[in-house]
Structure 1
Amino acid sequence: MSYPPEPWHLRGQMYVSVWSVPRRDLPPLPGELARVVRPVTLGGRGLIGTAWVVYEPGGVLHYRELLCAVLVRDGARPRVSITGIWVDSPTSRDGGRELWGIPKELAALEIGGTADRDGAGELAASAGTGSGPIARAVVRAGRRLPGRWPLRFSVAQLLGARVRTTPVRCRAGVGVGSAGWDVDPAGPLGYLAGRRPLFTLTLRDFRLVFGSAGAAAGRP
């Protein structure tokens, strides 16, 4: 095994945009997963979250990432399902796929910018593969809210022939920002091309635990 066992303890910076998308344009969920979970919709629209992430030294891995996830429900229980994700680390790709069924692909990512001690500043990010560009964005981060905020949620993915639900725990400094996105309409996030996010949040200096030790112990 060339990747760390779960849980993964990670740290870094995250820039999250939330979008409202008509149900007909939501990315499809694969096979058995689509029979277990359903997109959460209101007025015929679902919620998509996209995030640029820089995982920094100090966690089990450090790399860059662009992800896209849809808000779903398993009965009455809310879940997140990752429908598109690109990383610049083969180790992260392999671990994400084999541990949790997360469909990670390799891409060239550039994420950089400036921020002051309160987290305000501007970030420029881009992602693309040999097949072409995926997206670019400029994120303008506002100042942080007081304190550090906890966040817990579960990720539902198709792992082999079964649905795997994975807990995620995070604590971060939170700020409200804005983002201008340029999505390639012919790329894998083409359903977001020409749209604007509802809002953007920055999660500064986050500490995140993905997965659980109990699940790792029970894996054959």
Structure 2
Amino acid sequence: MPTYPPEPWHLAGQMLLSLWAVPRKDLPPLPTGVRPLAVAGRALMGAAWVRYEGDSVLRYNEVLCAVLVRDGLRPRVSITDIWVDSPPSMAGGRELWGIPKELAAFDFEPGAGRDGGVRARARTGAGELCAASFRLGGRLPGRWPVTYRVAQELEGRLVTSPVRSRSAVGPARAAWQVPPGSPMRVPADRPPLFSLALSDFRLTFGTRAPAPSGRTV
């Protein structure tokens, strides 16, 4: 099994995110102990392409789907589908946090087309997972902080892991394509509610392990 860094992981890079309002009946299975955070029978589901680069503890590409859920009254995010092109990231995600990472190959075309947008594609040995194209707008002023917790099932129990990030934010327009039979459960048959580019983000995922008794760090 590939080795991976201990938590927390300090990461940096670029993210392209789309969000949909999805009927509860159409959601993927969720961990035991959480429920969709739904309004009028619809829950918020997101899909994102991520490139971890720069001084990230690991450098790799990723595509994922996640659902906004609640643990009691506490809002959480649960990752339902995710692929990466890094065996250490796959092993660490599964063993540290219960994130169901699989392996895939990625193609990115930054600046593709006259609009200066981004095109992305992911595939496995079984075929294409999904593709998307993004047309980017201008950035909003400042760098925007976001803090939340990811809820996953690990060894039969619900675990939550903190995420802290800060990034430049800008609007985007996106079109997603998912071929028939793909295991990627993004609702590509409808346009997203909205899409965002989270540029030059810095992110910390997970918590530092407690020091042994009698020692401080």
TM-score when normalising by structure 2? 0.92
1:203 paired to 2:198: yes
Give the conservation status (yes or no) of the 8 Å contact 1:107–1:129.
yes
Give the conservation status (yes or no) of the 8 Å contact 1:184–1:193.
no
1:1-220 equivalent positions in 2, closer than 5 A: 2-29=3-30, 33-34=31-32, 36-114=33-111, 121-190=116-185, 192-213=187-208, 216-217=209-210
Give the conservation status (yes or no) of the 8 Å contact 2:81–2:185.
no
TM-score when normalising by structure 1? 0.91
- The alpha-carbon deviation at position 191 of structure 1 amounts to 5.6
Inter-CA distance 180–62: structure 2 relative to 1 (3 Å threshold): same
Amino acid at match of 1:184: P
- 1:78-113 C-alpha deviation (Å, 9 max, x unpaired): 000000000000010000000000000000111231
Amino acid at match of 2:74: R
> Which has the larger displacement, 8-17 or 182-191?
182-191
Identical positions, percent = 58
Amino acid at match of 1:179: A
- The alpha-carbon deviation at position 114 of structure 1 amounts to 2.4
How many pairs does the alignment contain? 209
**Partner SS, residue 217 of structure 1:** coil
Q: Where does structure 1 lack aligned partners over 5 or more consecutive residues?
A: none
- Structure 1 residue ranges, 4+ long, deviating more than 6 angstroms after superposition: none
**Partner SS, residue 85 of structure 1:** strand
Amino acid at match of 1:61: L
- The alpha-carbon deviation at position 131 of structure 1 amounts to 1.4
Amino acid at match of 1:148: R
- The alpha-carbon deviation at position 183 of structure 1 amounts to 1.2
Give the conservation status (yes or no) of the 8 Å contact 1:20–1:48.
yes
Amino acid at match of 2:109: G
- The alpha-carbon deviation at position 190 of structure 1 amounts to 4.5
Give the conservation status (yes or no) of the 8 Å contact 2:28–2:185.
no
- The alpha-carbon deviation at position 22 of structure 1 amounts to 1.1
Inter-CA distance 9–191: structure 2 relative to 1 (3 Å threshold): closer
Structure number with higher helix proportion: 1
- The alpha-carbon deviation at position 45 of structure 1 amounts to 1.1
Inter-CA distance 185–21: structure 2 relative to 1 (3 Å threshold): farther
Give the conservation status (yes or no) of the 8 Å contact 1:93–1:104.
yes
Give the conservation status (yes or no) of the 8 Å contact 1:26–1:191.
no
**Partner SS, residue 99 of structure 1:** helix
Q: Where does structure 2 lack aligned partners over 5 or more consecutive residues?
A: 213-217
